[in-house]
Each structure stands twice: as C-alpha cells, then as structure tokens.
Chain A
Amino acid sequence: MDNKLEKIVKTLQADFGAAVEEFRGEAHVTVPAGRIVATLELCRDQLGFELLDSLTAVDYWPKELPRFHVIYLLTSVSQNLSVAVHVPVNGDQPEVPTVSGVYASANWREREVWDMFGIRFAGHPDPRRILMPTDWEGHPLRKDYPLGYEEPQFTFNFDEIDLRKPSPKE
C-alpha cells in the first residue's frame, strides 16, 4: 500500500471504526451496513474518490452471519488510487441502504445485486430486476441456487426424459 492510500485508509479507520485488510497490494476496508452512505459520501467529497467502479456481492452460504459481503470498488481519478469497501450482510434479512444518491452508477449496479443475490437496497429509486425476467423466481448467483443443466436425450430414453423436461413458462 502506498503512503497516500495508507493515509486515506487511516482516516476511514478513525472515522468509522473500519477493519482493514491488505491482499496483493489492494486495500479492503470493512464498514457496517448502517455507515455505508456516510462512508461513501466522505470518500467522494473529501477523499477524492470520484468513480464508483463497480458494486457487487459475494455469497458465503452456508455461513449465515454474515452471509453476504456487498463490495464497493472505488477509484480516485485525480490521485490514481483504488480501494474496496466491504459491507457484511446477514442472511435472514439482507438489506443495505442505497448509495444511488451518492454515485449515480450505483442505481443499475444495485438493481443487478438485488436481481442476482436478493439483497434489498433500502430507499432505491427503481427497485426492479434488471437482467432476469420480471417474473423470475430466485436469485441466480446465490450459492444455494443450482446451476441448471439439460439431460441429453438418446433414442432409448427420449420419451422418458421428454416427460420430465421443464418447459418455459409452465
């Protein structure tokens, strides 16, 4: 970690009690869900992180407390620095306050995380699914969501498999 980044991480640590980890030269900062809007506002307005590169999540199922990590990847164009902010989220009622008021790009990325992981973003202006169809059930990128496959049909078992084959919109 270089000096400038270390100073920024120290500020976050002092202001939000953030836990800091380093892996392969990248800084990972963990803050509680309730403080995320304030953290990102501070990052944007005072620490110079203009760009929210991406917003994604990781599912640690079957661990429940916390089950998810929501990850905010921030970049400072003016200082050429990057930092990842993690927010642990429990599995029973996954909800994080929205940051779409801080970074406009969070609007679509939060919809994606809701669609794929089923994490609610409280106060989101447009909480619809984004990639999957509107009537889809389940959240595909959760670890307890199976990866689908199709059974190959041969001449000897063609009809047998045909019977139990799921058809779309049934």
Chain B
Amino acid sequence: MTQIEEVSIEDIRHLVSERAINGETMLLNMGPQHPSTHGVLRLLLELDGEIVVNCIPDIGFLHTGVEKNMEAKTYQKAEVMSDRLDYMNPIGNNLAFVMAVEKLVDLDVPPRAQAIRVILAELTRLNSHLVWIGTSSLDLAAQSMFLYSFREREQILDIFELVSGQRMMTTYLRPGGLWRDVPVEFEAAVRAFLKIFPKRIDEYESLLTKNPLFQDRMYGIGKLTREDALSYGITGPILRASGVEWDLRKKRPYSGYEQYDFIVPTRTEGDNYARYLVRVQEMRESVKIIQQALDKLPMGPVRSDNRKFVPPPRSEIGVSMEALIHHFKLWTEGFPAPVGSVYNAVESPRGELGVFLEGDGGPKPYRIHWRTPSFENLGVLPVLAKGFLVADLVAIIGSLDIVLGDIDR
C-alpha cells in the first residue's frame, strides 16, 4: 500500500503571500497531468479569483539521471543518451555532445560532414518549431493547426529515417564526423521538402498571424524585459523576442555556419506575440540555410581519418593489421580523453544548449553537465505569469516552448 505523505504549508510558506496562509487566496495544483503543461510539469498556483498571484513550478518528474549514467559510459556509448534529453531536438543534442568531445580531444571534422550536420540540425529546428506551433496553438483551441504542422513534421521525420534508420532517436553523428554518408535519395527528399515548405509557412501564418482570436491571447501577454531575460539566463528565441540579438550560430559560428547567409530575427516587445513572430521568422531562415548548404554540399569523406578516435572503414579491416587493432581498441576500451574541462554550446531551437565536459585521461567522461535551455526558460515563468489569468498562463507556457525531458534530464 502506498503511503501518501502530507505536505505542510510550512515547506512553501516563504514562496506564497500572507493571504494564502490566511485562506484569502486559493492554492491550486496545475499538473502534473495537465494537457497544456507539455509533459509532466506541476505548477502550484496561488490564485486570487482567476488571477495568478504566485506560480511555483515543481519539476523533476522526468529525472532519469542522464548525467550520472553518462559518467559510467564511454564517450561513444554516452552519446546514445543525449537524444533522450530534448526529444524534439535529437540531432541538436548529438551535435552539442560530439562537438564537446571533439573540442576535448582536439579532433577535426571534414567539410562534408559539417555541412550535413548543419542541414540536419536545421531540419531538427524546423521539426521542433513545428511541434511548438502545433501544440501551442492547440492550447489556444486552434485545433487544425496541430494537424497541418504534424503533416510537415512527418516529412522531416521521414528524412531522418532515411539517413539514420530512426525517426526520432537518431544518434547519427559521431565524434569526428557522421555514422555514415547520407544515402543518394537524401538530396531529392530534402529538396522536395524545401519546395513545399515556404508555402506551408505562409499557410500557417494566414491561419494565425492576423487572426483576432489568436492576437487577443498573445498581444501584451507575458511581457519579459531585456534585463529580466538576461538575469534569468534566458537564451534563444525568447531572448531575441526581448530585444537582444544573440544567436550562437551568428556570434560564435560552428560547423561552418559562417558560410551561410541568414539573418537573426529580433523583436523588442518581449510578449507572447513577439516570441511567436520570432520563431516563425526563424523557420524561414532555416529553410534558407538548408537551401544554401545543400547547394554547395562538398564531396569527400564524412569521417575524420584520425584512427585513434574514429574507427576505420570495414574495407580496411580485412587488409590492414593496424586498422584491426584500432577497431578492436576503440570498441573494447573506447578512446582516452585528456585531463581538462571544456564547455561547448550550440544554438538549439530553445536556446543555448551547452555541454560541460571534464576528462580525466580515461575513456569515460569524469563529469558531464548539460546546460539545457528549457531549465532556465522555465525558471522565468513565475515572473511572466504574475498578474495574468490562468488562461493566459496556458498561452505563456506554450510560448516558452519547454520540453520537460530537457529540464529534468
């Protein structure tokens, strides 16, 4: 028989107002099984009528100890867990992880692999934004939007399946390059998607952008100032909607982003509507990046030929003794990384996704810390929600675009 523990008000006395103790305002649970919390998020709300006085997020329901588990695995094996963090952005997580490993062991990546990484990372961004636009408008009762956006998302997942054999948990990137080259059908599949997608974005916009019902729920709701955004460590589209032009793809180009021509959409209003406009504009920019990367996709190898870190191709193993030894060593022991710590960050659809990696000379990470953007982005919710209606709170959570797997790790 499960024992139900009673939680006393003393534990949270410092978080609620005096009126909640007197019983003037109401304490109400929202979640953890609430459809608009996008996962298992529990919010403890202090309500005055329908107005939110205090909002206390309670997280950790999806905590799986990913950091602890990764410390017990070799660098190659730990990568598999990275997909499961932010499950809307699997290739972005792979990218953050393999780039941190490459930085730690000082490994180069061939240009073709870099370009394919960019194409896939941008497709993942579209995938994530499509889920966001679908689910967040579903919260506002725009049900058809959800069906349209998932129709296009399906096409992206098909491309992932084509290259990696998996629709969501791809684990396609490797330290030093890719698992293997993309199949010949890849280019045609991406071009077919690029051909229809800009028109589909116009379609979404015609449904939402000028829609008065949608605007009523978005204009001026959940305003975030520039100072608050920076102090709360907000990054990504939310920061850019508050007037700070900060995009790691532009400011600290990685994986060859400096070759592509794109703009960083920024707004100054900082409300739900600004965040919506920034993300929609970002989708258009992503299409531009994929188009350019595909047009000048270089030929060549997709893996580094540094055999200390990258396994040799199958064809070499049969004829070369060294190749066989390297293969054996890599798959039994893994590769050793030097002593020292690095921090590597990439721009995920939600903001700065960083990996802090510390090596101890062995084949396993001594410490790996995931700086996941949703964690910081949810931290600002109490500030945003204060003084708005419960119905607006739903719209605000939607506009923050949180992924609970990313928060709880």
A interface vs B, CB < 8 Å? 23-24, 26, 28, 50-54, 56, 58-59, 71, 73, 77, 80, 82, 84, 103-105, 107-109, 116, 125-126, 128-135, 140-141, 145, 147, 169
Please state if A126 and B14 are interface contacts (CB–CB under 8 Å): yes
Question: B342 near A: Cβ within 8 Å?
Answer: yes
Question: Cβ of A84: which chain B residues have Cβ within 8 Å of it?
Answer: 341, 343
Please state if A77 and B342 are interface contacts (CB–CB under 8 Å): no
Contact of A125 among B14, B63, B352, B375 (CB under 8 A): B14
Count A/B pairs, Cβ under 8 Å.
Answer: 97
Please state if A140 and B352 are interface contacts (CB–CB under 8 Å): no
Question: In the complex, which residue of chain B has the Cβ closest to the Cβ of A113?
Answer: B369
Please state if A147 and B68 are interface contacts (CB–CB under 8 Å): yes
Question: In the complex, which residue of chain A has the Cβ closest to the Cβ of B12?
Answer: A128
Contacts A103-B231, A105-B376, A126-B14 aside, 11 further interface pairs with beta carbons under 8 A come to: A51-B233, A53-B345, A54-B354, A56-B356, A103-B233, A129-B60, A130-B59, A131-B60, A131-B408, A131-B409, A147-B68
User: Which of B173-181, B188-196, B244-252, B289-297 binds A?
Assistant: B244-252
Q: How far is the CA of A84 from the CA of B354 in the complex (A)?
A: 13
Question: Cβ of A104: which chain B residues have Cβ within 8 Å of it?
Answer: 228, 231-233, 379
Q: How far is the CA of A145 from the CA of B235 in the complex (A)?
A: 33
Question: B216 near A: Cβ within 8 Å?
Answer: no
Question: In the complex, which residue of chain A has the Cβ closest to the Cβ of B104?
Answer: A24
What 0/1 readout, one digit per residue, does chain B (242-274) give for beta carbons within 8 Å of chain A? 001010000110000000000000000000000
Q: How far is the CA of A134 from the CA of B356 in the complex (A)?
A: 27
Please state if B244 and A24 are interface contacts (CB–CB under 8 Å): no
Question: Cβ of B63: which chain A residues have Cβ within 8 Å of it?
Answer: 131-132
Q: How far is the CA of A59 from the CA of B367 in the complex (A)?
A: 8
Q: How far is the CA of A104 from the CA of B366 in the complex (A)?
A: 29
**How many chain B residues have a CB neighbour from A under 8 Å?**
47
Please state if A169 and B341 are interface contacts (CB–CB under 8 Å): no
What 0/1 readout, one digit per residue, does chain B (363-380) give for beta carbons within 8 Å of chain A? 000110101000110010
Interchain residue pairs with CB less than 8 A apart (18)? A50-B231, A52-B233, A53-B345, A54-B369, A54-B371, A56-B369, A58-B341, A58-B358, A71-B356, A80-B252, A105-B231, A108-B379, A128-B11, A131-B59, A131-B63, A140-B65, A141-B68, A147-B71
Question: Cβ of A131: which chain B residues have Cβ within 8 Å of it?
Answer: 59-60, 63, 408-409
Please state if A23 and B340 are interface contacts (CB–CB under 8 Å): yes
Please state if B376 and A130 are interface contacts (CB–CB under 8 Å): no
Contact of A24 among B3, B71, B233, B342 (CB under 8 A): B342
CB distance from B355 to the nearest CB of A (A): 10
What 0/1 readout, one digit per residue, does chain B (212-243) give for beta carbons within 8 Å of chain A? 00000000000000001011110100000000
CB distance from B404 to the nearest CB of A (A): 11
B interface vs A, CB < 8 Å? 2-3, 5, 7, 11, 14-15, 59-60, 63, 65, 67-69, 71-72, 103-104, 106, 228, 230-233, 235, 244, 246, 251-252, 340-343, 345, 352, 354, 356, 358, 366-367, 369, 371, 375-376, 379, 408-409
Q: How far is the CA of A108 from the CA of B63 in the complex (A)?
A: 15
CB distance from B124 to the nearest CB of A (A): 22
CB distance from B310 to the nearest CB of A (A): 19
Q: How far is the CA of A126 from the CA of B56 in the complex (A)?
A: 11
Question: Cβ of A132: which chain B residues have Cβ within 8 Å of it?
Answer: 60, 63
Question: In the complex, which residue of chain A has the Cβ closest to the Cβ of B60?
Answer: A131
Question: In the complex, which residue of chain A has the Cβ closest to the Cβ of B62?
Answer: A131
CB distance from A122 to the nearest CB of B (A): 16
Contact of B342 among A23, A52, A126, A130 (CB under 8 A): A23
Question: Cβ of A103: which chain B residues have Cβ within 8 Å of it?
Answer: 231, 233
Q: How far is the CA of A134 from the CA of B42 in the complex (A)?
A: 14
CB distance from B183 to the nearest CB of A (A): 35
Q: How far is the CA of A116 from the CA of B15 in the complex (A)?
A: 22
Please state if B379 and A82 are interface contacts (CB–CB under 8 Å): no
Q: How far is the CA of A126 from the CA of B252 in the complex (A)?
A: 35
Please state if A141 and B67 are interface contacts (CB–CB under 8 Å): yes
Q: How far is the CA of A71 from the CA of B367 in the complex (A)?
A: 12
Q: How far is the CA of A166 from the CA of B188 in the complex (A)?
A: 54
Please state if B60 and A133 are interface contacts (CB–CB under 8 Å): yes
CB distance from A21 to the nearest CB of B (A): 9
Q: How far is the CA of A23 from the CA of B340 in the complex (A)?
A: 7
Please state if A77 and B246 are interface contacts (CB–CB under 8 Å): yes
Question: Cβ of B354: which chain A residues have Cβ within 8 Å of it?
Answer: 53-54, 73
Contact of A53 among B15, B341, B371 (CB under 8 A): B371
Q: How far is the CA of A129 from the CA of B228 in the complex (A)?
A: 24
Q: How far is the CA of A114 from the CA of B65 in the complex (A)?
A: 15
Q: How far is the CA of A163 from the CA of B228 in the complex (A)?
A: 54
**Which of A24, A84, A145 has the most chain B CB atoms inside 10 A of its CB?**
A24
Sort A-B residue pairs by CB-CB distance and give the 9 closest, nearest first: A105-B233, A54-B371, A131-B60, A56-B369, A23-B340, A50-B230, A104-B231, A131-B63, A58-B367
